[in-house]
Structure 1
């Protein structure tokens, strides 16, 4: 029986060790990248120096996921006719509304970003919408998408800060984000927001799947090595094809008849 440590098998052992080690290491690297991206979404940016909104995203850009909660500087012109009230918002346990007025970033007629000016217990308590130029600092947030539909599209009350709902109330393009004003308008209470957003369910999913793929590759390499070593160390008798070899003498092709 051939030993598993025979010189001719050393190359197979070395190839197995290299393959499994590389696959394990690459899998760990991808998994660490997955964890790092999940953690990045939970970094508290609320104390960072405000940056101009236009430095982080354009009106047609997707939301920059790494900047959730970052303070931004918004300069432009109020769009008072686009004011809406977002229902189902609590403050100190009291149900009420967010008051949202868009700001045309860069000036009148330009794409607008919805700005949460503050909270009120009832729509009737909301002060008039502002107008004119504005320069404010607020927290950048991704637009919502709970799937809840607006039961009455004809009024100014919407169930969530969602572009599909907001666009019906303005005549210009909207950013795929909204801003919560750090200094609420007179007569409004500052809107409550969690300091740290929850990381998305699919954040870094590709890195996680790559990690699983590399580990499966390592297991496959280990399986191939095991099969190869088993076949190489098996006794020759164990490799037969299953056909029996007769042990007696072969019969004559032309038997000689005996004399009577």
Structure 2
């Protein structure tokens, strides 16, 4: 139990370090199409840096990740590949939309224009994977998204990263209001819970130590006395 408490403290330390890295990389100059990572190693080095991309949406490849929360509400993360001038594409996490409570299969109506768009955001890891039973059907609503399988299904060459949009896309230089929320969760926000779990484990550890001393040492001596 003491080891579990130390593990929780280590998890909090990791999240604080990640948040510090996000803050540091967020102050670096914005990347562009030409400097976008092509390898996983480059993607790791560019994580959380600002980026501005231009390209064309691949609307037929839009995916809605289900059971994703923002501001405490359930809904979808809307993902659409952005085809670059080089012919390959990068997955853009365009934002969050609420789910229809009466019809779970009803998709949010978000415009996806045909012209060249400019996306302002930050480099981010591939969307996190949630626990699920079985595999998703190849439809627009999914629980998780595997990069290699998705690229093969859509016939795309995807860069080894994704981009979290931080502002509405711009079409012809004019921002387009799409109604999506972009209050992306920060990894260090829930650090307090790790400190709370660690305190619980240490309390359990102290209780067991106290009970051992009482039943194995003090009580037998009192009985003999």
Matched, 1:141 2:124: yes
| 1:132-167 residue CA offsets vs partner (Å, 9 max, x unmatched) | 211221110121463756733231122235303532
- 1:188 deviation in Å? 1.4
CA RMSD after TM alignment: 3.1
State the alpha-carbon separation in 2 of the partners of residues 64 and 50 from structure 1.
14
Structure holding more strand per residue: 2
Q: Distance in 2 between matches of 1:70 and 1:99?
A: 21
Of the three residues 53, 56, 64, the one matched with 1:85 is 64
**Which of 51, 75, 78 does residue 96 from structure 1 map onto?**
75
What's the TM-score, normalizing by structure 1? 0.52
Structure 1: gaps spanning 5 or more residues: 1-37, 198-260
Aligned match of 2:210: none
Contact 2:47 2:123 in 1 (8 A): yes
| Residue in 1 that maps onto 2:92 | 115
Change in Cα spacing, 1:86 to 1:77, as seen in structure 2 (3 Å) is same
Output the CA distance in 1 between the equivalents of 2:152 and 2:183: 23
Q: In structure 2, what is the Cα distance between the partners aligned to 1:143 and 1:188?
A: 19
Task: Look up the SS of the partner of 2:111 in the other structure.
Answer: coil
Which residue in the other structure is 1:130 paired with?
A: 113
| Cα distance in 1 for residues equivalent to 2:188 and 2:123 | 12
Could you tell me how far apart the structure 1 residues matched to 2:125 and 2:137 are? Answer: 22
Aligned length: 159
Q: Report if the CA contact (8 A) 2:43-2:161 is conserved.
A: no
- Give the 3 Å change call, closer, same or farther, for CA 105–62 of structure 1 in structure 2: farther
Q: Is this contact kept in 1: 2:18–2:187, CA < 8 A? A: no
